[in-house]
A = this chain, B = another copy of it.
Amino acid sequence: MQRLFRMAEIGATKNGGVCRLALSDEDRLARDLFCEWANELGCSIQFDTMGNQFATKTGINPNLPAVLIGSHLDSQPTGGKYDGALGVLAGLEVIRRLDEENITHKHSIDIVNWTNEEGSRFAPAMIGSGVYAGEFTVDYAYSRTDSAGNLFKDELARIGYLGDSKIKRDYKACFELHIEQGPILESENKKVGIVTGVLGIRWYNITVTGQEAHAGPVPMEMRKDPVKKLQAIISDLYVVADKYRPDSRLTIGSIITEPGSINTVPGKVALTLDIRHPDHKILELMNEEISFICTHKHKQVQLESIWHSPPVPFHKTCITAVEKAAQKLKIPAKKMVSGAGHDAVYLNRIAPTGMIFIPSKDGISHNESEFSSPKDIEAGVSVLYEAVKSMIG
């Protein structure tokens, strides 16, 4: 908890949150602090071409595959203290407790701080773990720019974390402890989530075309009003979500009217659509029904699929390790699926990976008022500790 609060001073906002954008000066300070703490615990530090930081506590047999713990230290512009930081600092706490209890381990332990998980300064999100897992090339990542036109590579070099080599090692298991960012654990009074996988996601841009018209002189029956059509489309879309409850998610996050003037019938309305489901087949069914709504049922509507992330089932070994740890500690736990993407999703492609959730107060995150109680944090870290301990033999 001390480390968590000390870390939250870096980029602290007036309202109790954190602004620690990727590759900012605050990000550098957070990285430096992480190094300092890891060194104190006897870890050696390296960082790769993406600036991903790896703190290694070497095991008795360094040739065995290591166990990885970690998450990210960057934040949203008005983010909270817990998202990401918890998962990195929990790694340090695991090392500290192993030392305290004089536990030796054959397998090495790595603690990772993935670069630019949030993606709010440099899109896309999770680019550090993405490059590590082969989803993106380093050159692609380097070419990303922020809204001020700064290059990712330049900013990484500026803060002193542009590494010159890839770091690649075998992992026996990887664990990411993270706040739930949703209301489920809290509402069911569980302390820990055993995350079995991540919802599949599809993102779309939808454009409804009408015809701009002056709000006064053009009678209703002579208009091509895209807002009227928007209303019907939104109604149809929510029906799709209702059909596949309770695991479905459907979010219309942005609606933009053009030209957006109070006395002009818009010529165009653009909206974004985010749908999610843990079952690949159902996600594809939802996709088909949305296509039908936008391309057959309604006219003058354009549907563009812009991103697809299939559902991710985490690795059985890791799920079981987390489950057993919670049982051993008698902590009320719930098997659940993560609604959000995490670095663990990419990592799972190249190494056995699992996640542990702890409750988020009111399900709120990406917000300065994000909160998880010290008690829940202790429970989460203890489960992580036991799960890691079961793997490092």
Contacts and interface: CB of A to CB of B under 8 A. Distances in A.
B262 A249 contact: no
Given A231-B231, A245-B221, A262-B253, A339 B272 contact: no
Interface in A216-256: 216-222, 225, 227-228, 230-231, 234-235, 238, 241-242, 245-246, 248-256
Contacts of A364: 212-213
Nearest to A193: B217
Contact of A254 (B182, B260, B276): B260
A217 B367 CA distance: 14
A263 B269 contact: no
B253 A182 contact: no
A220 B241 contact: yes
A214 interface: yes
B261 A254 contact: yes
A180 interface: yes
A365 B276 CA distance: 43
B254 A269 contact: no
Contact of A215 (B227, B251, B256): B251
A115 interface: no
A235 B234 CA distance: 11
A129 interface: no
A214 B181 contact: yes
A219 B242 CA distance: 11
Contacts of A217: 180-184, 338-340, 360, 363, 365
A142 interface: no
Contacts of A340: 214-217, 263
25 contacts: A181-B216, A181-B217, A183-B218, A184-B217, A199-B216, A212-B366, A213-B364, A214-B365, A215-B253, A215-B274, A216-B340, A217-B338, A217-B360, A217-B365, A219-B245, A219-B249, A227-B252, A228-B238, A230-B234, A235-B235, A251-B265, A253-B266, A254-B257, A255-B257, A255-B260
Interface of A: 180-184, 187, 199, 201, 203, 212-222, 225, 227-228, 230-231, 234-235, 238, 241-242, 245-246, 248-257, 260-266, 269, 272, 274, 276, 338-341, 360, 363-367
